[in-house]
Amino acid sequence: MGRLVPDEFPLSSLRNDAERRVVEAFRDGLSDGWLILPDVGLRADRRDHQLDVVLVHADWGVVDIEVKGHRMRVRDGAWWSNGQPLDPQPMRQAQDNAYALRNRLRAHGGELERVDVEYGVALPNTTAIDGALPPDTAAVQILTVGSLDEPQDAIESLVSDRRGGR
């Protein structure tokens, strides 16, 4: 079972049901080596970043997961919901937030100078992606309903794929 940080984090404080379901899936489905930090605010690059869920593991590293409660489809290389393209695009948002966190951690020096922060998008209301994924998105970066049923495998696959199997 993953560990919420802080232990008594009130899930009711999360913005929406989608984020609550993702945090609960990580809490219930990840091993106890995973720390789960919901709703992380970060000021960097003269702007604010809001990271939906940050996962930390001594062996697997750091992962930023952005949560989108929309039912998604991909059209012409862009993410759409309710007939509109999303702005910002989910993977760009996840990447920007992950890089901001990575840069903040690296600034602390020591072993953190080489830390990477992997990233993905959780879609707890989507069973399958309608349309071909954009070229900058690997399938393992997308966690749909089925992936959230077995989040340990999904997160380990995301980290392994993004790091080239390291």
Confidence check: pLDDT of 152 > 50: yes
pLDDT, tens digit, 9 for 90 and up, residues 27-76: 999 999 999 999 999 987 778 989 999 999 999 999 999 999 988 888 88
Where would I find the H helices in 1-89?
17-29
Share of the chain above pLDDT 90, in %: 73
- Mean pLDDT, the chain, rounded, equals 91
pLDDT of residue 165: 43
pLDDT-derived band at 119, boundaries 50, 70, 90: very high
Q: Which pairing describes strands 73-75 and 117-122: parallel, antiparallel, or unpaired?
A: unpaired
Span 77-99, average pLDDT: 92
CATH number for the segment(s) 3-162: 3.40.1350
Residue 166 — very low, low, confident or very high, per pLDDT cuts 50/70/90? very low
Cα 123 to its chain centre, rounded Å, is: 10
Report whether pLDDT(98) > 60. yes
- pLDDT of 25 > 50? The answer is yes
Average pLDDT over residues 147-166: 84
Cα dihedral angle (152, 114, 141, 41), rounded to 10 degrees?
Answer: 90
What pLDDT sits at residue 164? 57
